Amino acid sequence: MSTPAKNYVFGPVHSRRIGRSLGVDLVPFKTCTYDCIYCQLGTTTNRTLERKEWVPMDAVLDELKRKLECRPDYITLSGSGEPTLYSRLGQIIRRIRAMSDVPVAVLTNGSLLCQKEVREEVALADLVLPSLDADIDYKFRFINRPHPDISFEQMVEGLIALRREFSGQYWLEVFLLGGYTAIEANVKRLAALAKRIGPDRVQLNTVARPPTEDFAMAVSPEALKKFAKFFDPPAEVIAEYPSHLSHKSDKIQPGAVLEMLRRRPCTVEHVSLGIGLNRLEVLKKLEALMAKKQIETSRHEGEVFYRATGHPEPS
């Protein structure tokens, strides 16, 4: 019996930031430089700075080529870990751009941008989306729980250096947490840091799915709108998913719902919008997966989230 192929490409899923995103996983599940308290994927199991070819590049590209007929808005190097840990990042971006005219985005925590070779590789993309979660070292260590060899100052300088060297689109996510960084003085310091970094856009985000730690609290939409005005130019508040779907899709791949839930916890509406299937059909599929004990539920902020009962196999 042949061994089933590993999945390195997922989606397309709906991204609040960039539309229909075809995701590419370049590292094994929860291989990261951080162990953020708000991460929707759970605790980091391999916190590392080691850059290597974690997954076979040719296998990734072969799978991506088969899925490009879906015509996403972006091919996004993201997934369930930190993509800049992939040592052949520059090569794979070049290969993707050679096979498709779909723009390439890199979704990164920004921790390795202090390394010149990482900045050179990331700069081959069309869009880079790093994050900034804290305005001072002790909060950085509390919220992001970085590898001990990553300093707050190095991380910030890496974000600034990338802006000097990268001519593509640069969108900075500022992730706010209730009780920790969603305080007027803190947000003003974050706004000053963002001004130093100089991105094309600043996007405010907060907890939207069950976080790793229960004490990682969301910020209200009203507060986010107020804080957005502290940035110059004003930040964009990332919109929540709509509660209904206005279109349908007749060609949903078998296993698409389960594959999506292996990547992140989702509500019915998240699944519906992400794969383009109406809500009633999504509910039927979720009920079938529940009956097989392939998924489970949890509650967060009054909403029911579905997640796969097991993590993806390590690559």
Quick one: 224 and 257 in the same domain? no
Q: Looking at the domain assignment, is residue 144 inside a domain? A: yes
Can you give the pLDDT at residue 166?
96
- 250: domain CATH number is 1.10.10.10
**Rounded alpha-carbon distances, angstroms, from residue 258 to 28, 45, 271:** 18, 22, 10
Domain count, the chain: 2
Asked if residue 2 is part of any domain, the answer here is no
Spell 132-157 as b/e; 16+ CB within 10 A means b: bbbbeeebbeebbbbbeebebebbbe
pLDDT at residue 247 in the model: 38
**How would residue 274 be classed by pLDDT, with cut points 50, 70 and 90?**
low
Q: Which of 94-108, 177-191, 274-288 has the lowest mean pLDDT?
A: 274-288
Enter the tokens of residue 11. Answer: 């989606």
215 and 271 both lie in a single domain: no
Amino acid at 13: V
Alpha-carbon torsion angle 49, 52, 55, 58, nearest 10:
150
Distance (Å, rounded) from C-alpha 274 to C-alpha 264?
12
Asked if the structure places residue 82 within a domain, the reply is yes
**Which domain does 222 fall in, by range?**
9-240
195 and 47, same domain (yes or no): yes
Which of 216, 240, 264 is the C-terminal boundary of a domain? Answer: 240
CA separation for the pair 298, 303 (Å, rounded):
8
Does the structure show a pLDDT above 50 at 111? yes
User: Percent of the chain at pLDDT above 70?
Assistant: 88
Which residues, at least 6 apart from 1, have a Cβ–Cβ distance to it below 8 Å?
none
Q: What is the pLDDT of residue 242?
A: 41
Write the pLDDT tens digit of every residue in 61-76. Answer: 999 998 888 888 999 9
pTM of this prediction?
Answer: 0.77
Confidence at 246, pLDDT banded by 50, 70, 90:
very low
pLDDT > 50? residue 211 = yes
Is 1 part of a structural domain of the chain?
A: no
128 or 257: which leads in pLDDT: 128
According to the model, what pLDDT value does residue 311 have? 52
- Residue 313 above 80 pLDDT? no
pLDDT of residue 285: 81
SS3 290: helix
The residues, any chain, with a CB within 8 Å of residue 158's CB and separated by 6 or more, are 110, 111, 112, 113, 114, 115, 119
Is 3 contained in some domain? Answer: no
Cβ-based neighbour number of residue 268 at 10 Å? 17
Question: Are 55 and 32 contained in the same domain?
Answer: yes
CATH number at residue 71: 3.20.20.70
